[in-house]
A = this chain, B = another copy of it.
Amino acid sequence: MYSFMNDYSEGAHPAVLELLMKSNLEQNAGYGEDIHTAKAKEAIKKLLHKDNVDIHFIPGGTQTNLLVISSFLRPFQCVIAAETGHINVHETGAIEATGHKVVAMPCFDGKLTPAVIQSALDHHTDEHMVQPKMVYISNSTELGTIYTKAELSALHNICKEKGLILFMDGARMGSALTSKENDLELRDIAELVDVFYIGGTKNGALLGEALIICKDELKEDFRYLIKQRGALMAKGFVVGIQFEALFETNLFFELGAHANRMAEQIADTLKENGYPFFAPVGTNQLFPILPDEAIGKLEKEFIFSLQKKVDETHSAVRFVTSWATTQKSVDALCEFLRGIK
């Protein structure tokens, strides 16, 4: 059975594996102080058109999120997130385990707005309440939506005005930046947020996220924090080499674009057959609303997840595509979707 369950079912893109193979018996310095990691950083900085950023490679997304949040907040400060945000729902309290409250705000399509942030600030006024100091957004979001340049600029402005750190979780940055709806480049993001990461795990690597600290005040001693949270890999070069492979060519973006193209074909089929969507289409996550009966049939042929019951007889499901999704499997899914109509 073909799986549209998530974008981390396969290993690494062959070009990534190849570079791992090629460098396998080299002796490299430990803890990310090797030459491949250095090359990967240079390649990313070139894309950012910025040299004065600090880049660290972190094994996974939860670690990156908890590291950023716990490192930059004082004990009484909190992070504002959309109620659908990954840190609020799907990290088993990883953020709270570092001592910080996640202030979850109602949101539309998984996105935060200046008005929502202002509302959070308005409710936290004195020392009897936590103090908002960071804003967490994801791009693409947990609902597959993306931030436009105008939207991100507006978030940048309110954060700057209010002294809030703006943090973008880019676990699915590859799909976000190659969406047809997207008007952001990596270099824009580096100007508009204080810290963000580019996800490798969900876009062609075995594991690894590239954390980019743009704001000078946040840079100091960050390696101590990585080490303390267990995220400083002895063989740091294992992630460095993979990002080298992804960013020395255009590979990272090609992989995101492939995932989006695969999703688009599925979305088009769904639309043609009149299925509504629980969240806007644009990246590699699709949330169509299907009759429960059809879902029952689909489950016999494909693997995917249920998102939410929407009424007595319908539910939203989630289909995820990836760099590894095959045309053949998409064709099969589309054909099936046409058939169950």
Contacts and interface: CB of A to CB of B under 8 A. Distances in A.
Nearest to A28: B9
Contact of A10 (B8, B25, B232): B25
A100 B102 CA distance: 11
Given A207-B233, A231-B230, A92 B60 contact: no
Contacts of A26: 10-11
A233 B127 contact: no
A230 B66 contact: yes
Q: Which of A20, A62, A223 has the most CB of B within 10 A?
A: A62
Nearest to A23: B11
Interface string A297-341: 000000000000000000000000000100000000000000000
Contact of A235 (B8, B63, B221): B8
A101 B90 contact: no
A17 interface: yes
Contacts of A64: 230
Q: Which of A5, A17, A75 has the most CB of B within 10 A?
A: A75
A202 interface: yes
Given A75-B71, A97-B99, A228-B92, A27 B12 contact: no
Contact of A228 (B25, B76, B230): B76
A90 B128 contact: yes
B130 A93 contact: yes
A108 interface: no
Q: Which of A91, A128, A227, A228 has the most CB of B within 10 A?
A: A228
Interface in A31-67: 59-66
A248 B229 CA distance: 32
A115 interface: no
A187 to B, nearest CB: 28
B27 A60 contact: no
A107 interface: no
A320 to B, nearest CB: 11
A65 B227 CA distance: 13
Contact of A17 (B21, B70, B130, B232): B21
28 contacts: A3-B27, A5-B30, A8-B30, A9-B29, A10-B24, A11-B25, A11-B26, A14-B24, A17-B24, A20-B206, A59-B230, A62-B227, A74-B225, A76-B221, A76-B227, A78-B93, A91-B228, A92-B130, A93-B130, A94-B228, A96-B130, A98-B99, A127-B221, A127-B226, A128-B227, A206-B238, A230-B230, A230-B231
Interface of A: 2-3, 5-6, 8-12, 14, 17, 20-21, 23-30, 59-66, 70-71, 74-76, 78, 89-94, 96-102, 127-131, 201-202, 206-207, 221, 223-235, 237-238, 324
